[in-house]
Amino acid sequence: MTNTLRSLRVSVVVFDPEIPWLDRTFASLARSASVAMAAGALETLSIDVVDNGTPDEAALDESIARLASALPSVRVHTLRGHGNVGYGEGHNRSIHDGRDDVHLVLNPDVELDENALTNAIDYLERETDTVLVSPEVRSPTGERQYLCRREPSVLVLLVRGFAPQWVARVFARRLDRYEMRDVLGRGVAADVPLATGCCMFVRGSSLRAVQGFSPDFFLYFEDYDLSARLSKLGTIRYVPSVVITHAGGFTASRGWRRIRLFLASAARYFSKHGWRFA
């Protein structure tokens, strides 16, 4: 494989993480990195674990040590002491320090397929207009998660996040369109408006050009905002050969504080990119 995108930086932001899932994330990252290096898709790798606040730092450090042991030639760096600066700003601690060809924004509840890194880097290498590769996302039980999105409306977000099932069924066609169910799973999809922040393979030069995540978003919609800004520089593509498993849940199950953050970030996103009510 001839490849000019040889360096990858990975940032993982944690806040009181579930260590068993984090171990699975790190183990899958180590496997996928080893495959990519063996295939010639990757020459240098650095990993930043950004600790936004972990009560049991010893358990986190042991998990990071297991990752470092699995990848002895890789720089694994822990960033802490800054407090809970938010999801996007946590990743920025890594992004602003990097000069790598590709940057992977990775959730601590994601498992990478062993070929995910190889396939994502190879795709970015071949399709030079692509600024972001968004993966095929599956749940831990194997169902497809539809995490690439079209532009939301206020109505769609409220129905999807908070309405009872009988109401959601009334708006099923709108929800399906928002989740791009007519496109995902049918090969590569170009011009994805909004990509999921749980796993973003971003061309490093493009990510630096937009200066990473916006500090306007503490939690939620930082990925939508980043997608909107990156799409002005090139194409965001869903690439089904890049496969991950994601254990994340929905906003309504996360308590009132998370719901308030979600609504505030949604209002901020609409104010910045245009309001759509229906």
Q: What percent of the chain has pLDDT over 70?
A: 97
Q: How far apart, in whole angstroms, are the C-alpha atoms of residue 160 and residue 37?
A: 40
Q: Determine, yes or no, domain membership for 103.
A: yes
Tokens for 98, please give them: 């990097």
pTM: 0.95
Calculate the average pLDDT of the chain: 95
pLDDT at 250 over 70: no
**Environment class of 200 (CB within 10 Å of its CB; exposed 0-12, middle 13-18, buried 19+):** buried
Contact 35, 121 (CB under 8 A): no
78 phi/psi in degrees, rounded to 5:
-105, 130
Structure tokens at 20: 């068993």
Tell me, yes or no, whether 55 and 157 share the same domain.
no
Quote the CA–CA distance of 23 and 19 in Å, as a whole number.
Answer: 6
DSSP reduced 3-state for 212: coil
Above 90 in pLDDT, residue 254? Answer: no
Cα(1)–Cα(4) distance, integer angstroms = 10
- C-alpha count within 13 angstroms, C-beta hemisphere, residue 47: 23
Residue 249: pLDDT band by 50, 70, 90 thresholds?
Answer: low
Instruction: Using DSSP, state whether 245 is helix, strand or coil.
Output: strand
- Report yes or no on 2 lying in a domain: no
- Decide if 69 is inside a domain: yes
- Looking at the fold, whether 155 and 17 belong to one and the same domain comes out as no
Does the residue 1 lie in any domain? Answer: no
Same-domain pairing of 77 and 174: no
163 and 79 share a domain?
Answer: no
In this structure, the strands spanning 7-14 and 102-106 are parallel
Residues 171 and 85 in one domain: no
Is the residue at 40 inside a domain? yes
- What is the distance between the alpha carbons of residues 19 and 125, in angstroms, rounded to a whole number? 34
User: Considering the chain, what percentage of its residues have pLDDT values greater than 90?
Assistant: 91
Is the pLDDT reported for residue 142 higher than 70? yes
Q: Return the CA Rg of the chain.
A: 18
CA-CA-CA-CA dihedral for 32, 109, 78, 211, to nearest 10: 90
Q: Decide if pLDDT at 252 tops 50.
A: no
In the chain, the number of structural domains is 2
Residue 211 structure tokens: 């200066």
**For position 191, which CATH number holds?**
3.90.550.10
1 confidence band (pLDDT: 50, 70, 90): very low
Residues 27 and 100 in one domain: yes
For 85-135, what is each residue's pLDDT tens digit?
999 999 999 999 989 999 999 999 999 999 999 999 999 999 999 999 999
**Quick one: 201 and 259 in the same domain?**
no
Residues 129 and 167 in one domain: no
Q: Which residues contact 65 (CB under 8 A, 6 or more apart)?
A: none
Has residue 62 been placed in a domain?
A: yes
Question: Do 56 and 11 share a structural domain?
Answer: yes
d(CA 104, CA 199): 7
The verdict on residue 85 lying in a domain is yes
What's the residue count for the chain? Answer: 278
The answer as to whether 193 is a domain residue is yes
Statement: residue 211 has pLDDT above 50: yes
Residue 156 has a CB neighbour count (10 Å cut-off) of 21
pLDDT in tens, 221-236: 999 999 999 999 999 9
Residues 175 and 257 in one domain: yes
Looking at the predicted structure, is the pLDDT value of residue 77 above 50?
yes
Residue 137's domain spans which residues?
7-148+185-247
Per-residue confidence (pLDDT) for residue 240, from 0 to 100: 96
* 53 lies in the same domain as 142: yes
Whether the per-residue pLDDT at 75 is higher than 70: the answer is yes
- Do 190 and 237 lie in one domain? The reply is yes
